[in-house]
Amino acid sequence: MRELKQLPLWGKVIYGAGSGGFSLVDRVLITWLFYYYITSPLEGVEALMPPFAFGIIMFLGRAIDAIADPVIARWSDNYRGRLGRRMPFMLFSGVAYVVVFVLLFYPPVAETSVLNTVYLAVLLAVYFSLFTAYVCPYLALLPELARSNKDRVDLATFRAVFMLLGVGIALIGSGILIGRLGFHGMVWALGALGLVLLYLPLAIKERDYAEAKPATLGLTEAIKTTFKNHAFIIYLVGNVTFWLGFNIITLNLPLYVTVLLGGTEDEASIYFGLAFVVALLFFPAVNIFSKKLGLKAVMMFALVAFLVLLPLFFFLGQPVLGLSPEVFGYILMALAGLPLAVIFIVPEAIVAAVSDLEEKLSGQRREAMYFGAQGFILKLALGLSTVITGGLLQVFGSTAEQPLGIQLTGPVSALFILIGVIVFSRYPEQEVRAYEKSKSGSEAG
C-alpha cells in the first residue's frame, strides 16, 4: 500500500473554503429567488409567476435533489480517474453550478408567463443536481483527507467556519450590493466570489492524501449495505431528529418575532444573527472538547441542550423570571447558539468515523454513499418539518389573537429531539474508535 501524506494546515483551510462557496451561492438563491419571481424588482413588472406555482416547483426541485444524493454518491464512490474519485465531480460541476445560479435570475419573459414556469422548473432541477454533484463528493473527501479523529474534527471545524461566513456574506452583503450594483450586479458579484471559493479545494492533490480506490457495488446493493451499518443508523436518527426539530424553529422565527414579540420582519435577522454569532465564537471550544471528550459526549450535550431550550419557545412574548419578552428572546436565541455550534461541526466528523466501518461490511471505501444517504433522509425530514409546521398553525392558530399554533412549535420540536437523545445514547463510540485505531496501526505498520 502506498504511503499517504498527512493533510497540512493550508490544505484544511482551503478544503473548508469550498463549504463557503456553496453556502454563499445557495443562501443567496434561497433568500432572493422567491422574492425575485413573486414581487419582481424588474421595472414595470408586477410578478413573474404566482406564489403557489413557485412553491410547487421548489418542492419538486428538492425532491430531485434528494433522489440525486445516492445516485451521485454511488457514481463518485465507484469512479476511476487519474484525479481521484471526488475532485473530477467538483471540477466539472462547480462552474456549471454557478452559471445556472446566475441564469435563474434571467427569466425569458418579463411578465407572468407559462414560459417562466417551465424555465424555472428546468433550471431548478439542474441547479439542485449540480449542487449535489459538488457537495456530496466534497463531503466524502473529509474522511479520506483526514484519517484520525483529531484531523477530522479540525477539517469539520474549518468547514463550519467557512459555511457561516458564506451564509453571513449572503444575508448581509446581498442587500448592500443590490443597493450599489443592482439586482443582477449582486448576483454576478456573489456568484463570482462563490466560484472562487468552490475551486480553492482543487489545489489539494486528492491522490496524495486519499487512497481513492474505487468501489464496485451497484446502487441498490450500496444503499442496502450502508443501512446495515448500525452505528450509522443510530447517528442518523439523532442528527435527523435534531434538524427536523430545529427547522420547525427556523421556519417560525419570523412569526416568533412579529406575532409573539410584536416586532418587525427586519428584527428577525437580529435573533437569527445572535445565534449564529454565538455558534461561531464557540467553534474553538467544540473543536477542543470533541478531541478530549469524544464526539458522542459533545453531540449528546447538543441534543440535551436543545431538548431543554426548545420548550421555552412556548413562553416567547411573555415576561419570564422578571425579564422583558425581548430580553428573554435574546437570551434564548444566544443560548441556542451553543448547541448549534456543535451541530455545525460534529456530525460530519461522526459520519467520517462510521464510514470507516464500511470496510468490515463490504471491504470497500464508500464515503460518498454515507453522506448521500444522510442527505436523502435529511431532505425528506426537512420537507416533513414544513408539513408539521403548517399543520400546527392551521389547526391551533398563527395570529396574535390565536397564537397557540406558534407557541406549540417549540414543545413539538422538543419531542423529536427527545427521540434523538434516546436513540443516540446507544451510539457505539468505543467500537468506532477501536476500528479507527486498528486501521491507523495497520497503516503505520
- Gap between the Cα atoms of 368 and 363, Å rounded: 15
Q: In this structure, are 311 and 423 located in the same domain? A: yes
Could you give the 3-state DSSP secondary structure of residue 18?
helix
Q: In this structure, are 233 and 102 located in the same domain? A: no
Q: In this structure, are 193 and 239 located in the same domain? A: no
CA-based nearest residue to 400, from 277, 280, 262? 262
Exposure of 220 by Cβ count < 10 A (0-12 exposed, 13-18 middle, 19+ buried)?
A: exposed
Q: In this structure, are 341 and 201 located in the same domain? A: no
Q: Output the nine-digit C-alpha cell for 178.
A: 443590490
Q: In this structure, are 435 and 326 located in the same domain? A: yes
Could you give the 3-state DSSP secondary structure of residue 336?
helix
Those residues with Cβ within 8 angstroms of residue 408's Cβ, 6 or more apart along the chain or in another chain: 314, 392, 396
Cα four-point dihedral sign 13, 18, 24, 30: negative
Q: In this structure, are 281 and 186 located in the same domain? A: no
Q: In this structure, are 165 and 219 located in the same domain? A: no
Q: What is the pLDDT of residue 362?
A: 65
The answer to whether 299 and 421 are in contact (CB under 8 A) is no
Q: Mean pLDDT in runs of 10 for the chain (445 residues)? A: 78 94 89 73 63 75 82 86 86 95 88 82 91 91 82 88 87 79 90 96 86 72 81 91 84 80 74 84 93 93 94 90 89 91 88 78 73 82 78 85 91 93 93 69 48
Q: In this structure, are 189 and 222 located in the same domain? A: no
Q: What is the pLDDT of residue 211?
A: 74
CA-based nearest residue to 299, from 251, 261, 349? 349
Domain enclosing residue 259, as ranges: 215-445
Q: Can you give the length of the chain in residues?
A: 445
Q: What is the pLDDT of residue 335?
A: 94
Of 196, 211, 226, the domain-final residue: 211
Q: In this structure, are 311 and 406 located in the same domain? A: yes
- Degrees to nearest 5, angle at CA 76 with 166 and 160: 25
Q: Which amino acid is at 216?
A: T
Task: Indicate the number of domains in the chain.
Answer: 2
Q: In this structure, are 48 and 141 located in the same domain? A: yes
Q: Where are the alpha helices (DSSP H) in 169-217?
A: 174-199, 206-209
Q: Which helix (H) or strand (E) holds 410?
A: helix 404-424
The DSSP secondary structure of 241-299, one letter per residue, reads HHHHHHHHHHHHHHHIIIIIS---HHHHHHHHHHHHHHHHHTHHHHHHHHHHH-HHHHH
CA-based nearest residue to 348, from 66, 93, 145, 129? 145
Could you give the 3-state DSSP secondary structure of residue 44?
coil
Q: What is the pLDDT of residue 50?
A: 74
The answer to whether 33 and 105 are in contact (CB under 8 A) is yes
The CA–CA distances, whole Å, from 34 to 96, 139, 194, 303 equal 21, 28, 20, 32
Q: What is the pLDDT of residue 437?
A: 63
Of 166, 190, 211, the domain-final residue: 211
CA-based nearest residue to 210, from 371, 14, 365? 365
Q: In this structure, are 373 and 298 located in the same domain? A: yes
Q: What is the pLDDT of residue 390?
A: 78
Count CB atoms within 10 A of the CB of residue 336. 25
Q: In this structure, are 374 and 327 located in the same domain? A: yes
CATH code at position 183? 1.20.1250.20
Q: What is the pLDDT of residue 35?
A: 73
Of 163, 185, 211, the domain-final residue: 211
Q: What is the pLDDT of residue 445?
A: 45
